[in-house]
A and B are shown apart, each in its own frame.
Chain A
Amino acid sequence: MTAPHAAHAANAGRHSDREAARRSRVLMKGNEAIAEAAIQAGCDAYFGYPITPQAELLEWMARRMPELGRAFVQAESELGAINMALGAAATGARVMVSSSSPGISLMAEGMSYMAGSGTPMVLVNIMRAGPGLGSIGPSQSDYFQATKGHGHGDYRVPVLAPASISEAMELMATAFELAERYRTPVMVVADGIMGQAMEPVELKFRCPERRTFDWVLTGAAGRPARIVRSIDLQPELLEKRNLDLQHKYAEIARREVRWSGYLLDDAEYVLVAYGTAARVARSAVDKARAKGVKVGLFRPITLWPFPSRELARLAGRTHGMLTVELSSGQMVEDVRLAVEGRCPIAFHGRMGGLVPTPDEVLGALKALRGKVERTRHAHAAKEGGEK
């Protein structure tokens, strides 16, 4: 990979700024861009296992990490990979693993241990369609798994959902930041399209500042021995550990909600979608706007913490919301919980590796609008009749 050219443009005029920006853009595959962004974010160690559609991520790491004198191991399984991550992270290294849906199921055990022992790590899930072996097509059917729990126990992990390769690159740095700030695993979820598609990206990277940790294992020279663990056989101690975790999650929920809006100011109807589905939804918004329908897009970037408050506020001045997902309807449950009946919620999704078209979304939107308007007419008629 070539070095960024942006530096040449430091004091140049507007034209050369643009020229430099153009030149610093390269065409990169999502998996590779995510891998390089992690490297530039200071990832010290990567552990992985081959699985489609994330294999290029592993391959990129296999080439780049040894080149930089950093750790790369192709593990014997996803179980092996996540536990290598646990070991490396316990010593304070900046650690990443990646996989795709079936592999994430195997990593659930390690996630639970890392959440319980407060071990930072970034896990990328390039989601494919399930259940079971399913297929390698793009999917968002791991939303429940990512946001409601993977392994056992009362824990949460921040979940970041990029909708473009550039955003994925930026979010890798954010993911490491969150992981280390809150001593927690952090998930980045993207579907197979995000992993496989190529997009022009600017080679702009960010490396979060290194913190000093007072809990990492380095050998107990000149200090008492440290233990990284999740076990507490005494119920009172384990409850305290859990309360500490919940306190941490409350803080994350308060401070780390991220979302993005598109044409929401005057929107009568709102599409809610993340990742690839949000890109389809955005095309649908543009098409609807061209026909004069006032539609906007609400795109959660953190799936947990979910932007519930922001969505609820929006629902108060919206005729209806349509959630679009590459699933049977998983995030829509959180949308309903957030909106609490303030407006009607509809859903449109495709499964099995299929992606809905903007026209399909418009069809679903039309159905929602029809239903909303019929209800309004009925209410109006009823109120008129009562007078």
Chain B
Amino acid sequence: MTVHRDTRAAPAGSAPSSATPAVAHPVDPHAPRLVYARPEVLVDRSTHYCPGCGHGVVHRLLAEVLTELYLPAHTIAVAPVGCAVFAYDYLSVDFVEAPHGRAPAVATGIRRVRPEAFVLTYQGDGDLAAIGTAEIVHAAARGENITAIFVNNGIYGMTGGQMAPTTLVGQKTTSSPSGREAASMGYPIRITEMLAQLEGVGYAARGSVADAGQIGKLKAMIKRACQIQLAHGGFALVEALSNCPVGWGMTPRESLEHLRGPVAQAYPLGVIVDRLAAPPKDTFAETCPAPAHPEA
């Protein structure tokens, strides 16, 4: 099986927008150009997610990236326990469902017997940063060549809004009714920074679904994390800060403001490590020995 690695645009005129399948169309300068459509891999159905929830945005971005990289037919994805347990209802790729927190181990098993497959995990913060810490840390430490999407909304959504390890200090949840108190309930865990320390990690970044600008950046991160796998660059993780209006007791608009404000302050956005990125030029010149036989 060949996995397409070429991420450049398809033939001229086919406008490699996120939505357009990669087939050549006859060029007609006057025809209306399709700039936004549902990627085929994203299933056309009503959502089970709550109004305003960020999961749908992340699903959509994943669908776009998989399509752009020609990956849907080669993907084996691992669904988590939590709100995103039904990820397979929205993305029409092969899926296996993992026990709570174990998605990175399940993905390891797939990776080791299916070297040609594109292996993807999708986990929430309760799943990845609490019950599944051992699995995520060791998959990262082994440098398993998989792509992990980590949606962090700071709460256990599906079980009714309990405190997660990522819950902000002071944040009220159903299991921290007076707000998370650091003295007895500890501090939020910045797992992406922790994992970025490991040599097996090829890419670690944190984005957000707070607004259109952030969503665009998040998509670039997800795409990069997928490309890292295709380049056999080791473990790639993208943390997507997301909102949970129902669990946070906010309107969707308030929750996005909260996401832009206190949440992004506690969890700084950006690429933390990209080991496949080309080094800056001057560093390269310093560390590269001069060629033995310089051309005349």
Contacts and interface: CB of A to CB of B under 8 A. Distances in A.
Given A73-B108, A84-B108, A113-B99, A220 B134 contact: no
Interface in B72-116: 72-76, 78-79, 85, 88, 91-99, 102, 105-114
B99 A110 contact: yes
A220 B117 contact: no
Given A87-B107, A91-B113, A225-B88, A217 B76 contact: yes
Contacts of B114: 91, 218
B59 interface: no
Contact of B96 (A77, A93, A219, A228): A228
Interface string B117-137: 110000000000000001101
B138 interface: yes
Contacts of A228: 95-97
A73 B134 CA distance: 15
A71 B112 contact: yes
Contacts of B94: 217-220, 225-227
Interface in A59-117: 71, 73, 75-77, 79-81, 83-91, 93, 95, 109-110, 113, 117
A224 B95 CA distance: 11
A148 interface: no
Interface residues of B, number: 37
Given A75-B105, A91-B110, A220-B73, A83 B98 contact: yes
Contacts of A18: none
Interface core residue of B93, B95, B98, B105 (most chain A CB under 10 Å)? B105
Contact of A84 (B73, B106, B118, B137): B106
Contacts of B78: 87
A225 B95 contact: yes
A78 to B, nearest CB: 11
A165 B127 CA distance: 41
B95 A86 contact: no
Interface residues of A, number: 40
Interface string B43-86: 00000000000000000000000000000111110110000010
Interface string B1-36: 100000000000000000000000000000000000
B92 A225 contact: yes
Contacts of B76: 90-91, 217-219
A88 B96 CA distance: 10
A7 B141 CA distance: 46
Given A83-B105, A86-B96, A219 B117 contact: yes
A229 B118 CA distance: 19
A3 interface: no
Contacts of B109: 45, 47, 73, 83-90, 95
A47 B107 CA distance: 13
B36 to A, nearest CB: 24
Contacts of B73: 219-222
A227 B96 contact: yes
Contact of A83 (B95, B99, B113): B99
A219 B118 contact: yes
A44 B134 CA distance: 25
Chain B CB within 10 Å — which of A76, A93, A230 has the most?
A76
Contacts of A90: 76, 96, 106, 109-110
B96 A109 contact: no
Nearest to B142: A73
A375 B164 CA distance: 65
A100 B146 CA distance: 30
Contacts of A81: 105
A243 interface: no
A316 to B, nearest CB: 46
A228 B99 CA distance: 12
Contacts of B88: 225, 227, 229
Interface string A178-194: 00000000000000000
Given A75-B138, A109-B99, A217-B76, A44 B93 contact: no
A313 B112 CA distance: 49
Contacts of A88: 109-110, 112-113
Nearest to A93: B113
B95 A45 contact: no
Contacts of A87: 78, 96, 98, 105-111
A231 interface: yes
B96 A229 contact: yes
Contacts of A225: 88, 91-95
A87 B105 CA distance: 8
Contacts of B102: 79-80, 83, 86, 110
Nearest to B95: A227
B140 to A, nearest CB: 11
A221 B118 CA distance: 12
B99 A45 contact: no
A113 B80 CA distance: 13
A220 B93 contact: yes
B4 to A, nearest CB: 12
Contacts of A80: 102, 105, 108, 134-135, 138
Given A87-B78, A217-B76, A224 B110 contact: no
Nearest to B91: A225
Contacts of A221: 1, 73-74
28 contacts: A73-B112, A75-B105, A76-B105, A79-B135, A80-B102, A80-B108, A84-B105, A84-B106, A84-B108, A84-B109, A84-B112, A86-B96, A87-B98, A87-B106, A87-B110, A89-B109, A91-B117, A93-B113, A218-B76, A219-B76, A219-B94, A220-B94, A222-B73, A228-B97, A229-B79, A229-B88, A230-B97, A231-B97
Given A76-B138, A117-B97, 11 more contacts: A47-B109, A81-B105, A86-B109, A87-B111, A88-B113, A110-B99, A218-B76, A220-B92, A221-B74, A225-B92, A229-B97
